[in-house]
Amino acid sequence: MSRLPGPGPLPPGVAEPYWTATTAPTVPGAGALTSDLTVDVAVVGGGATGLSTAWELIEAGRSVVVLEAGHLAAGSAGRATAQVTALHPLGYAGLARTRGEEAARLCARSMAEAVDRVGEIAAALRADCDLERLPAHAYATGTTRHENLRAEAEAARAAGLAASYTTGTGLPFTITGAVRVEDQAQLHPRRYLLALAHDILARGGRVHENTRVTGLKEGTPCRVTTEHGLVVTAADVVLATHHPVLDRGLLYTRLSTRRELAVAATLPVGDDPGGMYVTREDGGRSVRTAPYDEERRLLIVTGECSAPGDPDVARRFDRLVHWTTERFPRARILHHWTAQDHESADAVPFVGLRRPGAAHAYVATGFGGWGLSGAVMAGRLLTELVVGRTIPSWAGLYDPWRPGRAVRGAPAALRNQVAFGRRFLTDRLRAGRAASETDVPPGGGAVVRVDGRRCAVHRQEDGTVRAVSARCTHLGCLVAFNAVERTWECPCHGSRFAPDGAVLNGPATRPLEIREAPDADDR
C-alpha cells in the first residue's frame, strides 16, 4: 500500500470553540474529587443538562454533587450554537402526525417554558452571558421544502407557538420560505453555564472536574464509582453525559450520532441578519450572530453534518468556509471547531428513568441539535421526578420507555443497528488503513497491524510515532483518524479519543490501551 496523503491545510482561524476561548478553563472550587462523599443526588456530567439539573435540585433543597470527567461546559455545551428555541425544523407537523396534536402542544409548551426559564435564571444570577431575545427561523432556498415549511408553520402555531410563515428574512440571500417564531433566545453558553456552577458552589453544592465516573450500582442508596476508586453514595443519580454512559437500558441502540462543523467570524454590524436561522439544505446550516464589539458582531455558522470517523473532515470544512464567505463576503473567520449530537430514533429526547424497573437512576439524552433548550427542559423535569413534586404534563412525552416507542422508533432503531453491524464487520476494510506505520505521514493517523495486532498509529509532526489499540473500549468497533482535530473517533457510537488513547467523549469510559510504538529504525 502506498503512503497515505498528509492531513493537508487546516481550516482558517483558531482550532477552539469561541465559547471556551473567551472563558476561564476551570472553575475555582471545582477541583477533582479526592475522597468518598454522601449526597442526596449525584449528577454525572457537567455540561448543559448536568448543570441545569444540579441547579434546579439545589433550588429544590437537595444536596448535590456534579461529577465531570473533563472541564465544566467544555464538551458539547462549549461547542453548541446556543440557540435556545422552541422551533425545531419540520418538527411539529411530524410530531402531530406520529404522536398526535396533543403531543405537539406538550412539546411546544415544554420548550417555550425552557426558553423563558433561561431568561429567568440568567436575570436572577445576573449572568454576563450576552442573552438576546430574537426571532428564530427555519428556512428553505429550494422549491421542494418551502411547502413543508408552510405546513410546519401552521403546525407550530396550532401547537401554541407564536409562529408564522414568511418569505422575507434578514439573510443576505434569497429564500423561498421560512417559519418564524418570535421571542426566542441566544446566549454565550459557557458563560451562562459557569454562572450556574458558581451559584451551585456558593449555595453549598459540590462540583468536581476531572472526575470520570466508571461505575454505578443502583439501590437504596445508589453508589457511583470513579476511575480512581472513590465512591459517591446518593439517594438518586442522574446520568447527564450527552451519550449515556453505563447504559444498562441499551438506549444507545435507539440513538444515532452525528458530527457537525462550526466556524465563528467577525462581521460588520450592518451585515447582521438579525435573528437565528437553520435549514436542512446544503448538508444542514445554522446561522446566528452574537455581540463582539461596537462595530462588529460575531457570526456563527454550523453545518456539514456527517457520521463520526468521516475521512473528509477537511473537505467539509472547506465547503463550510466557502459557503460562509460567499454569503457573507465581509466575514473574517476567527475560530473553527466541531460538535457532536445524538438523536433518538423517533426524534424526541429521552428524559426519565435509566431503564425499566429503575427507581433512583435517571438519564437525559437524544436532544439532536437542540441541546441547550432540551437541557433546560430536562433539568426541570428530572428535578420534579427526583423530588416527587408536581410532574409536568409533558413528562410522558419524553419518557425513555414511553408507550409505543418500539413501534414508532423501530425503523430508525433497526437502521442504527444494521449500520452498527455493518461497521463492526467491515470497518476493518475501510479506507484510511495503512500497510505499515511507515505509510502514516506526519500529522496523520491510520489503523495498521503491528506485531499482528490492529493498532491506531499517529505520527506527530516531528516524526514521533504513537500507537494505541484500534478497538473502541465501548463495543469494540475500530476507530478512525480525524486529521483536522488529531483525534481517534469510533464510527459506531461516537466515542472519541486523544492520540494517547485518553477518552474525550463517551459512551466509552476507558481509554484505548497503549501499544508499543514501532522502533525508530522501522520508520
Residue 95 carries which side chain, given as an amino acid letter? L
Gap between the Cα atoms of 177 and 198, Å rounded: 43
Plot region of 435 (φ>0 → left; ψ -120 to 50 → alpha; else → beta): alpha
Distances (CA, A) of 80 to 18, 76, 338, 368, 414: 10, 6, 9, 11, 29
The pLDDT tens digits for 478-523 are: 999 888 888 898 888 888 899 999 988 878 888 999 888 765 444 4
| 8 Å CB contact between 84 and 119 | no
Residue 107, all three cell numbers: 412539546
Residue 140 carries which side chain, given as an amino acid letter? A
Q: Per DSSP, what are the bridge partners of residue 459?
A: 465
SS3 for 73-141, per residue?
CCCCHHHCCCEECCCCCCCHHHHHHHHCHHHHHHHHHHHHHHHHHHHHHHHHHCCCCCCEEEEEEEEEC
Give, rounded to a whole angstrom, the gap between the first and last alpha carbons of the chain: 15
Distances (CA, A) of 505 to 188, 365, 498: 22, 14, 10
Residue 115, all three cell numbers: 426558553
Q: Pick from 243, 253, 249: which is nearest to 355 by CA?
A: 249
Instruction: Show the domains of the chain with their CATH numbers.
Output: 18-22+32-408 (3.50.50.60), 430-522 (2.102.10.10)
pLDDT of residue 328: 97
Phi (first) and psi of residue 435, to 5 degrees: -65, -35
Peptide bond preceding 507 in cis form (omega within 30 of 0): yes
Q: Helix 48-59 vs helix 189-202: angle between axes, to the nearest 10 degrees?
A: 40
Q: Pick from 25, 73, 78, 413: which is nearest to 240 by CA?
A: 73
State how beta strands 276-279 and 255-268 pair.
Answer: unpaired
pLDDT of residue 422: 52
Torsion of CA 360, 366, 372, 376, to 10 degrees: -30
* Global confidence as pTM: 0.88
The pLDDT tens digits for 273-329 are: 999 999 988 778 999 999 999 999 999 999 988 888 878 888 899 999 999 999 999
Helix (H) or strand (E) holding 418: helix 405-426
pLDDT of residue 101: 94
Residue 374 carries which side chain, given as an amino acid letter? G
Gap between the Cα atoms of 373 and 351, Å rounded: 13
Q: Which long-range contacts (CB under 8 A, 24 or more apart) does 317-326 make?
A: 317/11, 317/261, 317/263, 317/484, 318/11, 319/283, 320/261, 320/262, 320/263, 321/11, 321/12, 321/263, 323/282, 323/285, 324/263, 324/265, 324/299
| 8 Å CB contact between 150 and 164 | no
Residue 441 carries which side chain, given as an amino acid letter? P
Gap between the Cα atoms of 182 and 86, Å rounded: 10
| 8 Å CB contact between 47 and 209 | no
The angle formed by the CA atoms of residues 160, 164 and 166, to the nearest 5 degrees, is: 165
Convert 460-475 to b/e letters by CB count within 10 Å (16 or more is b).
eeeeebbbbbbbbbbe
pLDDT of residue 460: 85
Residue 370 carries which side chain, given as an amino acid letter? W
The dihedral built from the CA positions of residue 174, 180, 182 and 185, taken in this order, carries a sign that is negative
Residue 392, all three cell numbers: 409536568
Gap between the Cα atoms of 81 and 369, Å rounded: 9
State how beta strands 231-239 and 503-505 pair.
Answer: unpaired
pLDDT, mean of each 10-residue run, the chain (523 residues) = 60 93 95 97 97 98 97 92 83 91 95 96 97 96 79 95 95 94 97 98 98 94 96 97 72 81 97 95 90 97 86 89 96 94 84 88 87 92 92 93 61 50 50 63 82 84 86 89 86 87 85 77 44
| 8 Å CB contact between 271 and 172 | yes
